[in-house]
Amino acid sequence: MYPILEKRLLAEGIWLMKVLAPRVARSAQPGQFVIVRVDEHGERIPLTISDFDAAEGSVTIVTQAIGAYQVKVNDSLITFLDTPGHEAFTSMRARGANMTDIAVLVVAADDGIMPQTVESINHAKAANVKLIVAMNKMDKPTANPERVMEGLTKYGIITEDWGGDVACIPVSALTGMGINDLLERIALEAEVMELKANPNRRAKGAVVEARLDKGQGPIATILVQNGTLHSGDVIIAGTAVGRVRTMRSDKGVLLNDAGPSTPVEITGLTAVPEAGDLFEAVEDERLARELAEQRVAAAKEKQFSSFQKVTLDNLFSQMAQNDMKELAIVVKADVQGSAEAVKQSLEKISNEEVRVRVIHAGVGAISKSDVDLADASNAIIIGFNVRPDNVAKEEAAATKVEMRMYRVIYDAINDVTDAMKGMLAPKFREVSLGELQVRQVYKISNVGTVAGCRVTSGKITRDSKVRVVRDGIVITEDEIASLKRFKDDAKEVAEGYECGVTLAKFADVKEGDVYEAFKMEEYRD
């Protein structure tokens, strides 16, 4: 028996894997996989991978040194690459990196399907990858795998035991039960998929992670997906260029060559690339610099060119150009019932020209993860009684992802329907003025409820409309009955100043509420 290696899967961790299946040609591409770790309680659960004797069909553990480690399953080699969550996986996909062919979803047999589980499922499905379910915590007496498998059917995942095609492997990360079965199933799926690569060409692949070291300069962990990388090769990674000075394996061993599916840590780049950046080996440094300049120019041109992310305003024109066959939508709502109602209603309006597909329907404020998913999938975001958080707002602005907010389901349905018919011509649009935070709430006779607020951004005007947001959920929209600075009426209050606000109708104000001040503006296309 080989020693047992314990690896701890962090909550919401994603592990990328590449598998060299047995009995395939030397040019076979090791498969690319993801383990999506879902843990609603935030606990750190060990994934124990134990080695068997080689004569019995071994599973061999190789020591991890660079955020990646390799497991040999019989004649198959699985390489695990650490990334910090499905958000990272999706962000990398948005940058062009396609490092995943199979997603292994780890769910707890004693918990059932949780909201974060659903989010992970939808991120993996949006990437169009095959799913394998690892049913964890099977050592617990409260484990109920039938309940979990039934819950998975609600999200289009039908396991083999239920007549579907999704493998569901019972495991216990605590005891190691079933881990070898899981690894062997991964290897089998890789063999069936017959993934191919050519080791006899210049290397291409993607950056997994990168950092700046005071002594060695930029250090990048990269995954060779095709070809063979050699020490001394000139490479371009994103817009960073350089010559491979050192190349180390997951065991920390210096290498001269790295073939398909090999993760290596390299030095020699002139700058730190981003996770998800694509890399390739090129003929010489002059060509690498030229390519880097072209990539910088292309990025700027893309930013200012006619290319646009899909929006409801440009949907019909993209359909006319045969650019659109599917409208992907991310739905966020205040409650699960609303999310499902919006999802079902939107998907029913598909027509012959374009199919409406809701790739994720969740509850709560719109997050950066939602924007990353929309960015990677060229989707729009529809919010129902919810708002984006500040990070999501910034990310959406940077990536040009459209977000549309509604309080009536039929308004969302009508807008999408009209966009598909080329009839969408809104006469008004919302213009954001500023945000206020409620610091104190006063009950004053003959006046009503007064919110003592501080303007945290922008401004508020006496004729503003106000949206009350609590924990990312829209509570109501109202008009201003009075706006005061101390005891004096005010026409407007700017950022950094305090004011008293009384709403026309809504009185159930609480400390910590956010007031979004806005106005409706008529415009023409």
The CA-based dihedral angle spanning residues 218, 219, 221, 224, taken in that order and rounded to the nearest 10 degrees: 70
Q: Which of 373, 385, 363, 388 is CA-nearest to residue 116?
A: 363
Query: In this predicted structure, what is the pLDDT of residue 36?
Result: 44
Query: In this predicted structure, what is the pLDDT of residue 90?
Result: 75
Reduced to 3 states (helix: H, G, I; strand: E, B; else coil), residue 63 is coil
**Integer CA distances (angstroms), 177 to 8, 74, 171, 192, in order:** 15, 18, 5, 25
Query: In this predicted structure, what is the pLDDT of residue 405?
Result: 92
Taking the CA atoms of 6, 7, 9 and 14 in sequence, report the sign of the dihedral they define. Answer: negative
Query: In this predicted structure, what is the pLDDT of residue 387?
Result: 92
Query: In this predicted structure, what is the pLDDT of residue 46?
Result: 35
Torsion region of 45: left, alpha or beta (phi above 0 gives left; psi -120 to 50 gives alpha):
beta
Query: In this predicted structure, what is the pLDDT of residue 44?
Result: 33
Query: In this predicted structure, what is the pLDDT of residue 308?
Result: 62
Mean residue pLDDT across the chain: 79
0.85 cut: is pTM over it? Answer: no
Query: In this predicted structure, what is the pLDDT of residue 67?
Result: 58
Tens-place pLDDT, residues 426-481: 567 788 999 999 999 999 888 889 999 999 999 999 999 999 999 899 999 999 99
Reduced to 3 states (helix: H, G, I; strand: E, B; else coil), residue 523 is coil
Tens-place pLDDT, residues 374-416: 998 889 999 999 999 989 999 999 888 999 999 888 888 888 8
Rounded to the nearest 10 degrees, the angle between the axes of helix 86-94 and helix 368-377 is 40
Complete DSSP assignment for 126-177: HTT-EEEEEEE-TTSTT--HHHHHHHHHTTT--BGGGTSSB-EEE--TTT-T
Q: Over its length of 525 residues, how does the chain's per-residue pLDDT go in tens digits?
A: 222 223 333 233 334 444 443 333 334 444 444 444 334 333 333 343 433 332 344 444 443 455 566 677 777 667 666 555 566 667 777 766 677 777 788 888 888 787 777 888 888 888 887 888 888 889 899 999 998 899 999 888 999 999 999 999 998 877 888 888 888 888 888 778 777 778 889 999 888 888 898 889 999 988 888 899 999 999 999 888 999 999 998 788 999 999 888 889 999 999 999 888 889 998 888 888 888 888 777 766 655 544 567 777 777 676 666 555 788 999 999 988 889 889 988 988 887 777 888 999 989 999 998 998 999 888 999 999 999 998 999 999 988 899 999 988 888 888 888 887 765 545 677 889 999 999 999 998 888 899 999 999 999 999 999 999 998 999 999 999 999 998 899 999 999 999 999 999 999 999 999 999 999 887 655
**Beta-strand (E) ranges in 377-425?**
379-384, 403-406
Query: In this predicted structure, what is the pLDDT of residue 118?
Result: 82
**Integer CA distances (angstroms), 500 to 106, 131, 207, 459, 494, in order:** 50, 54, 52, 13, 13
Reduced to 3 states (helix: H, G, I; strand: E, B; else coil), residue 26 is coil
Query: In this predicted structure, what is the pLDDT of residue 170?
Result: 92
Query: In this predicted structure, what is the pLDDT of residue 333?
Result: 92
Task: Give me the domains of the chain, ranges plus CATH numbers.
Answer: 5-193 (3.40.50.300), 204-303 (2.40.30.10), 315-426 (3.40.50.10050), 430-522 (2.40.30.10)
Chain CA centroid to CA 431, Å: 28
Chain CA centroid to CA 456, Å: 29
What is the Cα–Cα distance from 350 to 416, expressed in whole angstroms?
10
Structure tokens, 522: 């008529």
Query: In this predicted structure, what is the pLDDT of residue 53?
Result: 32
Tens-place pLDDT, residues 299-308: 666 555 445 6
What is the Cα–Cα distance from 116 to 408, expressed in whole angstroms?
26
Residue written as tokens 């409406």? 356
Radius of gyration for the alpha carbons in the chain, expressed in angstroms and rounded? 26
HEC states along 454-498?
EEEEEEEECCCEEEEEECCEEEEEEEEEEEEECCEECCEEECCCE
